[in-house]
Amino acid sequence: MSGKSYLNDYDDFYQKVRRGEVWFPDFSKYEPSPVINFLLSGHAHKGHTFLTILEEVDDLWLENTHDYIQWIYPLDEPSKSLRHAPVLTEQDIEFIHFNRDGMIILSALNGRMQRFWENNQHWVTGYNHNHLRITRAIKSLRLTLGDQHAEEFKEWLYRTLGKEISKISENSQQFWKRA
């Protein structure tokens, strides 16, 4: 997934806003949540900014650390795994939809995770905690970047797995289809 399609969509949308064809919400009183601050202002989550996740941490860290996934794939519902994980508000989601930088950062973080899953096939088994991460990724992409991006992620996933999809439990596959 290149991420270029949503950037083109955003640029088209922005041009409509400039021409007055689309209403742009007033964010002057908006108080960004911790996850928005993490994405846009470089605030660190446990010492890691989005840039350190993109550029410095290795695949072993991504596999063995379990509290960052909620930050790079935020949802509008509480995490079942980590009770202190961030939860997006409706205003956070709207802000992301109107913020090109946030969309680019989310797309870049998604690209990093796709490289992780492509390079590490240990998760291609009946069950692995990465299956839950993948479900979260699809839901988050749908929520933050839109249906097209969630579907493109699914296409990438099925293409990556190929015939190996038969190793993944039917339960996990159903979660992915419904996400």
**Confidence check: pLDDT of 25 > 50:** yes
**Confidence check: pLDDT of 158 > 50:** yes
**Confidence check: pLDDT of 162 > 90:** yes
Highest mean pLDDT among 68-72, 81-85, 149-153: 149-153
The token pair that represents 24 in the structure block: 């742009």
Phi, psi of 66 (to 5 degrees): -115, 0
Cα angle at 72 between 27 and 61, to 5 degrees? 150
- Percent of the chain exceeding pLDDT 70 equals 93
- Encode pLDDT of 92-113 as tens digits: 999 998 888 888 999 999 999 9
**Confidence check: pLDDT of 2 > 60:** no
pLDDT bracket for residue 1 (50, 70, 90) = very low
**Would you state the pLDDT for residue 49?**
86
136 or 49, greater pLDDT:
136
pLDDT bracket for residue 7 (50, 70, 90) = low
Compute and round to an integer the Cα radius of gyration of the chain: 17
**Would you state the pLDDT for residue 12?**
76
**Confidence check: pLDDT of 169 > 90:** yes
Q: What is the mean pLDDT of the segment spanning 140-167?
A: 96
Written as one string, the DSSP assignment of 56-119 is T--HHHHHH--SSHHHHS--SS--SS-TTS----HHHHHHHHT-HHHHHHHHHHHHHHHHHHHH
Question: Which residue, among 130, 151, 131, has the nearest Cα to 141 in the 3D structure?
Answer: 151
Phi, psi of 16 (to 5 degrees): -65, -40
**Would you state the pLDDT for residue 66?**
86
Q: Tell me how crowded residue 118 is: count the other CB atoms within 10 A of its CB.
A: 10
